[in-house]
Amino acid sequence: MTKPKPLFHTLLLILPIIALFPSSPESRRLPFLGKHSLLHKPTNNIINSNYTYEIRYFQQTLDHFSFDDRPKFPQRYLINTDHWAGPSRMGPIFLYCGNEGDIEWFAVNSGFVWELAPSFGALVIFPEHRYYGESMPYGSRDEAYKNASTLAHLTAEQALADYAVLITDLKRNLSAEASPVILFGGSYGGMLAAWMRLKYPHIAIGALAASAPILQFEDIVPLETFYNIVSNDFRRESTSCFDTIKKSWAVITSVGQKVNGLDHLAETFHLCGKLKSTYDLSNWLDSAYSYLAMVDYPYPSDFLMPLPAYPIKEVCKEIDRSADGTNVLDQIFKGVSVYYNYTGEADCFDLDDDPHGMSGWDWQACTEMVMPMSSDKNSSMFPEWAYNYTSYAEECFNNFGVKPRPTWITTEFGGHDYKSVLKTFGSNIIFSNGLLDPWSGGSVLENISDSVVALVTEEGAHHLDLRAATADDPDWLVAQRASEVKLIKGWIDDYYTTKKSVFNM
Amino acid sequence: MTKPKPLFHTLLLILPIIALFPSSPESRRLPFLGKHSLLHKPTNNIINSNYTYEIRYFQQTLDHFSFDDRPKFPQRYLINTDHWAGPSRMGPIFLYCGNEGDIEWFAVNSGFVWELAPSFGALVIFPEHRYYGESMPYGSRDEAYKNASTLAHLTAEQALADYAVLITDLKRNLSAEASPVILFGGSYGGMLAAWMRLKYPHIAIGALAASAPILQFEDIVPLETFYNIVSNDFRRESTSCFDTIKKSWAVITSVGQKVNGLDHLAETFHLCGKLKSTYDLSNWLDSAYSYLAMVDYPYPSDFLMPLPAYPIKEVCKEIDRSADGTNVLDQIFKGVSVYYNYTGEADCFDLDDDPHGMSGWDWQACTEMVMPMSSDKNSSMFPEWAYNYTSYAEECFNNFGVKPRPTWITTEFGGHDYKSVLKTFGSNIIFSNGLLDPWSGGSVLENISDSVVALVTEEGAHHLDLRAATADDPDWLVAQRASEVKLIKGWIDDYYTTKKSVFNM
């Protein structure tokens, strides 16, 4: 029996993983590689057959902003018109902004959109992000990911233009030019939804941007924010758990330096193969803690891994339960086993199981999506680490032959002085966040105006609100979703009113 | 003594010129060539030494939206900080969005911006549009205009991103991040100003878009609009003038078909060389009428050519004065001589005097800026002509090896349903237009909301309001500029108020 593996993961998390362990040779070689990511399609047990859709392909322009002669590529999208009120009644269109992965996986994990559609009489469409899933330029993933020149057009602006072109064409074909479009998105997809609302107000009248860290650029938020939130998620469950994790890094380093130390560590952590460096192990543990913070959901879930409700509480229980002051590593192993082996099916763990080499998000992080992160000695349970752009850029150049443009995202989409800008010139955006989610620190957490609204839940984690309703949903989650529905309904009502008044102008 | 020539012309007008005479072999060869355009720098008599500026160059990214490895290029910009209130007082920045030509020419013809700066304590910056003037990628104009691949990045979106990157960098260097930016622009530059305001609200708080035909795409306005306005400008001065021009086309064709007919025409119109086809002559006449409509200013001017006040009135006087019912061609010659030879210095005229081959606007018209135009048999004084996209696209492909994207501009910037969109999601844009200007038909002529405002003057022509004040300015022009100043002042005041309230949030 092989080890279980995360079905997928939100690649946004890749960056912090390396940021913390940059000095190992591995990190220099593959600074942003999502070692634990799988780009496979979801397995059957995840696909909820309640969401039915047709799969279609659109011949998409590769470069919207220049006229270099490049081949079009087939952009995949999922569409469901079952509940649509149709063009004559200006039935709305719900568009999920596909993010960095297979669009079917996002579709099945965004039950909220599907559940909302019938009552709104909405058409549902999930377009896939270019260079992910099946939406590959140049005929195949191998060709698309060949080098910096073929990857050149994997950018957020091109992806937004894809959605704009696709939905414009679709609406024209359906004679549905007057149907209002509502955007949805989580994580990077939430960033795309918010940005699309700002950049294409003629195409979409509102956006639900769930867990969208649009401020995680340059110095807009403190660089320590992400790891501080992860750390606080553990500390709130148990101070001793936090302390144990905090001191474990030094123990790992120390043990690893001893004779046969790496073998001892491999044995302690039930690794399938040899451990090549303590970096690999630390990286693996960092992943677990960070992902746990993202998916610290109030009920059992299997978004990234099969997990119990409030999994950090369970991890800390395990760590604290076996505390006797001497075997820190055993404690840590028992803790992370909740994450990596909740079903108990794994006999051993493989730290290096990504067969894909370069991932798309690595490229994006090395070009536009430069999200600086540090770890603070005092407030974090992780090792101290200060962000260094120079070495970041060097590693990007070594890996991809590309130079990042670290200030481009805020130039193109804004970010600095966002309160003034959104208050005065933005409208119809919901920024939803759960404060357990480490990405929440890079999002908008205050109401900006009547129509740029922050819905914040103390106990929520990474875009929990986009998931399907369950019988275990706590009241605050039910209330959050109800607020979202009410706001979206308001946008659509306003739209119909404006249409009417302009018609009479 | 050589013939006088138009110092420059607004390339936006190139399209209609050919649209009307598509069947000649010349038109098939050079469908959009601006035969009468000069890309030279303005001569000294035009430069008003009251506008002083420093000339600087910014190393600009060629492709903002992909990471293809391309060389940066030096973007020229003019800057004046003499009257700036400075960063500590959040002194405003006036940014003119350079359009399709040498930026110094636009600077000297946009006196309004310079005259406004002192009272606003504003810094003034005129960045040049890529691929025009001195702002050439690949080292030189010849290299930049070599082929479709080198021209590929001559697009409006890239130009807007240039301005965004440049101003962001400049503000950072001046520690002036908090200074509000006001955009100005006329004609295509006005379109850029309006679009930049919509797309980059975090960068500019408002835009004066003078004579900006942002609706001259697809079928948003009737295709006959442009030529109908030109025609009406002549009819309002004199019905007989209109009638004479209307019947002259057939006379030209008929004479041209006779033995020695082309020689006869060349003699009648005082051409310096041989006339190769009646198309060339008709094109030359069409240019005169269309430009006259654009610059039908209420006082003597030398924007395109040295001209008297209300030049169409003078043209029609000449045409009507010599009317005896027989010599239509003589009448026409005397009329257009007002345009081509007002100073009386020309002994003969050269119809084909553009040494530049491809112009940048031709490329833009063959890629994004597809502005369909027709001429209506009944309402126009021009020959009947129905727009045909298929042949348009064919000629573009023949000339540049490029396929137009005729629906891209409205997808990227909007246009359809613009009243709803601007009313709900736009703010702080002035669309100023004079109804004599044939481009006014493709602009926004109604107030959309309190802050998206149309300032329309019955007697105004092409972005007259951007020109320097003169002693001859009629009251309505003085009033129009006063309204603009009041609105701009309101935007800046609102900005300071918002900054204050957000600061206290």
The band of B505, judged by pLDDT with boundaries at 50, 70 and 90, is low
Please answer yes or no on whether B149 and A69 come within 8 Å at the CB atom.
Answer: yes
Check if B462 is active-site.
yes
Token digits for B147?
Answer: 């082929």
**In this structure, are residues B182 and B95 in contact, taking their beta carbons and an 8 Å threshold?**
yes
The band of A69, judged by pLDDT with boundaries at 50, 70 and 90, is confident
HSE (side-chain half, CA atoms, 13 Å) at B275 = 27
Question: How far does A291 lie from chain B, in Å, by closest CA?
Answer: 30
Higher-pLDDT residue of B323, A325: B323
Nearest CA in chain B to A158: B65
Q: Which of A340-354, A411-425, A459-473, B410-424 has the lowest mean pLDDT?
A: A340-354
> Comparing C-alpha atoms, which of A240, A186, A189, A217 is closest to residue A437?
A186
Residue B357 pLDDT more than 60? Answer: no
Please answer yes or no on whether B201 and A203 come within 8 Å at the CB atom.
Answer: no
Q: Nearest Cβ partner of A498 from B407, B413, B423?
A: B423
Which chain A residues contact residue B146 at CB under 8 A?
none
Q: What pLDDT is attached to residue B353?
A: 53
Please answer yes or no on whether B202 and A418 come within 8 Å at the CB atom.
Answer: yes
Please answer yes or no on whether A419 and B505 come within 8 Å at the CB atom.
Answer: yes
- Main-chain phi, psi angles of A185, to 5 degrees: 180, 150
Q: Which of A37-51, A388-402, A418-432 has the lowest mean pLDDT?
A: A37-51
Q: Nearest Cβ partner of A68 from B64, B149, B198?
A: B149
Domain boundaries in chain A? 38-218+411-504
pLDDT above 90 covers a percentage of chain A that reads 80
Q: Which of B146, B202, B494, B505 to mutate to test the interface with A (most CBs of A within 10 A)?
A: B202
Q: What pLDDT is attached to residue B51?
A: 81
Rounded to two decimals, what is the model's pTM?
0.91
Mean pLDDT for the stretch of residues A375-388:
93
Token digits for B16?
Answer: 């209609």
Of these residues, B162, B437, B465, B473, which one is catalytic?
Answer: B437
Please answer yes or no on whether B69 and A401 come within 8 Å at the CB atom.
Answer: yes
Q: Give tens-digit pLDDT for A211-263.
A: 999 999 999 999 999 999 999 999 999 999 999 999 999 999 999 999 999 99
State CA B399 to chain mean position distance.
23
Of these residues, A27, A187, A287, A380, which one is catalytic?
Answer: A187
Residue that the structure tokens 């297979």 belong to:
A102
Question: How far does A365 lie from chain B, in Å, by closest CA?
Answer: 12
Check if B187 is active-site.
yes
**In this structure, are residues A413 and B174 in contact, taking their beta carbons and an 8 Å threshold?**
no
Q: What pLDDT is attached to residue B324?
A: 72
d(CA A251, CA B446) in angstroms, rounded, equals 72
Question: How far does A86 lie from chain B, in Å, by closest CA?
Answer: 19
Q: Which of A180-194, A479-493, B344-358 has the lowest mean pLDDT?
A: B344-358
List Cβ neighbours of B80 (8 Å cut-off, separation of 6 or more): B51, B52, B53, B54, B114, B117, B123, B124, B125
HSE (side-chain half, CA atoms, 13 Å) at A431 = 28
List Cβ neighbours of A254 (8 Å cut-off, separation of 6 or more): none
Question: How far does A227 lie from chain B, in Å, by closest CA?
Answer: 27
**A75 membership: H or E segment, kind and range:** strand A73-80
Token digits for B12?
Answer: 């936006």
Nearest CA in chain B to A61: B405
Mean pLDDT for the stretch of residues B438-454:
96
Q: Give tens-digit pLDDT for B310-350.
A: 999 999 999 999 777 668 999 999 999 999 999 999 899 98
Residue B358 pLDDT more than 70? Answer: no
Please answer yes or no on whether A505 and B446 come within 8 Å at the CB atom.
Answer: yes
Please answer yes or no on whether B69 and A413 come within 8 Å at the CB atom.
Answer: no
Mean pLDDT for the stretch of residues A403-432:
95
Q: Give tens-digit pLDDT for A126-184.
A: 999 999 999 999 999 999 999 999 999 999 999 999 999 999 999 999 999 999 999 99
Q: Which of B199, B200, B425 to mutate to test the interface with A (most CBs of A within 10 A)?
A: B425
Which chain A residues contact residue B494 at CB under 8 A?
424
Q: Give tens-digit pLDDT for B66-92.
A: 999 899 999 999 999 999 999 999 999
Question: How far does B21 lie from chain A, in Å, by closest CA?
Answer: 27
Write the DSSP symbol of residue B128. P
Please answer yes or no on whether B165 and A411 come within 8 Å at the CB atom.
Answer: yes
Q: Give tens-digit pLDDT for B141-189.
A: 999 999 999 999 999 999 999 999 999 999 999 999 999 999 999 999 9
**A261 membership: H or E segment, kind and range:** helix A261-268
Q: What pLDDT is attached to residue A396?
A: 93
Q: Nearest Cβ partner of B66 from A61, A153, A414?
A: A153
Of these residues, B462, B463, B465, B473, which one is catalytic?
Answer: B462
Q: What pLDDT is attached to residue B198?
A: 96
Q: Give tens-digit pLDDT for A266-299.
A: 999 999 999 999 999 998 999 899 999 999 999 9
Q: What pLDDT is attached to residue A358?
A: 52
Check if A449 is active-site.
no
Q: Which fold has domain B38-218+411-504?
A: Rossmann fold (3.40.50)
Please answer yes or no on whether B202 and A414 come within 8 Å at the CB atom.
Answer: yes
Q: Is the ipTM of this complex over 0.85?
A: yes
Residue A4 pLDDT more than 70? Answer: no
Question: How far does A358 lie from chain B, in Å, by closest CA?
Answer: 16
Q: What pLDDT is attached to residue B24?
A: 36
What integer best gives the mean pLDDT of chain B? 88
Mean pLDDT for the stretch of residues A361-370:
95
Please answer yes or no on whether B161 and A64 come within 8 Å at the CB atom.
Answer: no
Work out the number of other CB atoms within 10 angstroms of the CB of residue A22: 17
Residue A27 pLDDT more than 80? Answer: no
Please answer yes or no on whether A63 and B61 come within 8 Å at the CB atom.
Answer: no
Interchain CB contacts (distance < 8 Å): A and B? 147
Q: What pLDDT is attached to residue B359?
A: 85
